[in-house]
Structure 1
Amino acid sequence: MAPLVPRMHLFEIDDQPWFPSYLRGLVQEGLHHAWTTSLPLIFPQGSPASVVARTLQQVLGRGNVSRYTYIDFCAGAGGPTPVIERTLNAALAQQSETENGNGAPGSHSDPKSSHSYANVASTSKSSSSGQTDKSNSTPAVNFVMTDLHPHPEAWAAAAHKSHHLTYEPASVDASNAPASLINQYKNNKDAPGGRIFRLFNLAFHHFDDTLARAILKNTVETSDAIGIFEMQDRSFASVVTCALFGLFIPLVAPVLYWSAPWHLFWVYIVPIVPFVLVFDGLVSSIRTRTPEEVEVLLRTCGADTTDWEIKSGKECFMWPTGYLSWTMCIKKHKGDE
């Protein structure tokens, strides 16, 4: 079904330089909880982040999902990436356990080599690592958090909890990714998979057509796939979901901010946080591209996209109106399943 309205690149409050950083942090925390919250009945498939993990596994296929290193180019303060990494690798470990048939999942070697970007994130981790299971195990995959405006402290805390989650502390421009970053993981014997998958979680709609084309061009020239995941689209259901989200925040705010109750002032007394979340959510809906619109940008980005294919779909993450829309542009390789 065609969108109700044409795409318009309107402004979001959270993007504006005049919006106070303190309030921006509260809004981003609200978005983080939107990605990671899971309630029985309302969230039929678990949190939206876990839906992303399952979608990656299903669309890429069991033989290909572990061939990539997943680089989040708009990780913000962390967003859903730690949950996606944890969920996907848990699923791969369970798959290995089933295939091995030995009642114990295959362990995986530590991907953090001595010359990895992750050194800065792994100094406080255990130096021990498991031995690689030489049987029919599926290797765990690595995730890397980057951003034009990096949050190394927040990323370090998240990376400390997983040997498969790392980050780049310097600023990274998605339209001109540093060759040193890409080469660190691409076709590297210390980085399982050897392919680069670029992640954009609730982010790609922020770019105008010119910047979006530049990002896609850089992706085609240096990487092997890109995944665009949005929790909204240009539909009436998305408008309803945004409104429900505005009601949801005041209900759960005491739980979200129990350790910092002064934050509640900006939820109840001066309700800037729920207002910005709803306003920006509606604008995000209008900004979000259809898969067909993404493909037009890909094919006109100025790079050779002959070997690239487009896959897309929707998954319900919040009953009855919340749908996660996704578009993947994937380079075809010989021997892929």
Structure 2
Amino acid sequence: MPSLPRLHLFEFLDQSWLPAPLRRGEVDYLHVVLDKTRPYDGMATQLAALLRMAGTNRIVDLCSGTGGPWRTLLPVIQKQNAQAEVLLTDLHPTPGLELPPGAHYRDTPVDATRVPEELTGVRTLFEALHHLRPPQVRALLEDAVARRVPFAAFELTQRSLVYIFFQLLLVIPLVWGFTPLIRPRRWWRWLLTYLVPIIPLLVLWDGVVSSLRTYAPEDLEKLTAGLDANGYTWHTGVHRARGMAITYLIGQPGE
């Protein structure tokens, strides 16, 4: 599937001025989609293996936003490692979320390119790498290599005409279909989804922009070029499951 040129356009969710109901409406939709479709369950075995290799039970999730897939993913990992835990971090943290046992949110800011030394563990990013420009991604990867910690990043979006075509065709009906599953029910959500469909249009815009920002495997190979100090190795590709394609980047320190 040929890639389009990467364009780092703006996403509404990145804007501090976005009104709270619109931000909440878009985030709640993304949450319910992740909870119902569980696209990352297939990554649990890989993450459990990285924990074993690193001799730790802790995952340090970077750019966690409002929690990502951890409500459903962590229990799957814990079936293979009962002691597994995850620490969610962000430059603009949003603690107080509903999280499963073993998941905690750090309430102080964490810059993903300069992770504090005390935050040890396997580093992960879900749906976050595309928010960073190439120099930021390079700095993030260099920090993982310098600290000799395993690293894993995953993206659901694809930078292709076919993927964007299906987004244009399906996103708005999907928002309409998933909204009744969101709890608690709010009058403003129904108003801004069905009567004045601002939330579906925001989700559509941000989804298309996320696709255009997404790093393809060949981009990730260029960004990791030369980052092999002390036997550190990188693997990138696309994992296909349940009709979805997940671009991944896995980094592992040498012995």
Aligned to 1:33: 32
Aligned 8 A contact 2:32 2:178 in 1: no
SS of corresponding position for 2:124: strand
Flag the 1:317–1:25 CA change in 2: closer, same or farther, 3 A: farther
Counterpart in the other structure of 1:170? 108
- Find out whether 1:256 has 2:194 as its counterpart: no
Hey, what's the Cα distance between the residues in 2 that align with 1:283 and 1:17? 17
What is the alpha-carbon distance in structure 1 between the residues aligned to residue 184 and residue 103 of structure 2? 27
Q: Identity percentage over the alignment?
A: 27
Partners of 1:33 and 1:264 lie apart in 2 by: 15
TM-score (norm. length: structure 2): 0.88
Letter in 1 for 2:134: D
1:306 Cα deviation from its structure 2 partner: 4.6
Which aligned pairs between 1:60-71 and structure 2 lie closer than 5 A?
Answer: 60=49, 64=53, 67=56, 69-71=58-60
Quote the offset at 1:62 in angstroms. Answer: 9.1
Contact persistence 1:267–1:273 (CA under 8 A): yes
Shift in Å, 1:201: 0.4
Alpha-carbon distance in structure 2 between the residues aligned to 1:67 and 1:282: 37
CA–CA separation in structure 2 for the residues paired with 1:262 and 1:315: 37
Query: Matched residues in 1 for 2:35 and 2:55: separation?
Result: 23
Work out the CA distance in 1 between the residues paired with 2:242 and 2:5.
25
Instruction: Name the residue aligned to 1:149.
Output: 92
Distance 1:265 1:66, change over 3 A: farther
How far does residue 61 in structure 1 lie from its aligned partner after superposition? 7.0
Query: Separation in 1 of the partners of 2:224 and 2:93?
Result: 27
Unmatched 5+ residue regions in structure 2?
A: none
Within the candidate set 23, 35, 49, 2:40 is matched to 49
Q: Are 2:76 and 1:87 equivalent residues in the alignment?
A: yes
CA apart distance, 1:311: 1.8
Query: Cα 1:179–1:62, aligned 2, differ >3 Å: closer, same or farther?
Result: closer
Distance 1:289 1:305 in 2: 23
Please give the root-mean-square deviation of Cα atoms over the aligned residues, in Å.
Answer: 2.4
Moved more, 303-312 or 167-176: 303-312
Task: Give 1:77's aligned amino acid.
Answer: T
Q: Using a 3 Å threshold, how does the CA distance of structure 1 residues 313 and 295 change in structure 2: closer, same or farther? A: closer
Quote the offset at 1:241 in angstroms. Answer: 4.4
Deviation at 1:316, TM superposition (A): 3.4
* One-letter amino acid of the structure 2 residue matched with residue 295 of structure 1: E
The match for 1:325 among 226, 239, 247 is 247
Q: Distance in 1 between matches of 2:137 and 2:200?
A: 29
Tell me how far apart the structure 2 counterparts of residues 309 and 68 of structure 1 sit (CA, whole Å). 21
In the TM superposition, what are the counterparts of 1:176-195 in structure 2 within 5 Å?
Answer: 176-180=114-118, 182=119, 186=120
Aligned equivalents of 1:14, 1:206: Cα separation in 2: 10
Q: CA deviation at 1:223?
A: 4.4
Listed one character per residue, the Cα deviations across residues 227-253 of structure 1 (whole Å, up to 9, x for unaligned) are 111111112342244232331110121
Cα shift readout 1:50-105 (whole Å, capped 9, x = no counterpart): 23324434xx4795386452111111121212322111112x1xxxxxxxxxxxxx
TM-score calculated relative to the size of structure 1: 0.68
Unpaired segments of 5 or more residues in structure 1? 39-46, 93-137, 187-195
Residue 142 of structure 2 corresponds to 217
Q: What amino acid does structure 2 have at the position aligned with 1:37?
A: K
Shift in CA distance, 228/71, structure 1 to aligned 2, threshold 3 Å: same
* Deviations, residues 246-297 of structure 1 (Å, cap 9, x unaligned): 3111012122245324311111122121111111111111111122322322
- Counterpart AA for 1:175: T
Rounded Cα–Cα distance in structure 2 between residues aligned with 1:318 and 1:271? 29
How far apart are 1:299 and its partner, in Å? 2.9
- Aligned AA for 2:238? K
Q: 1:271 to 1:148 in 2, by over 3 A?
A: same
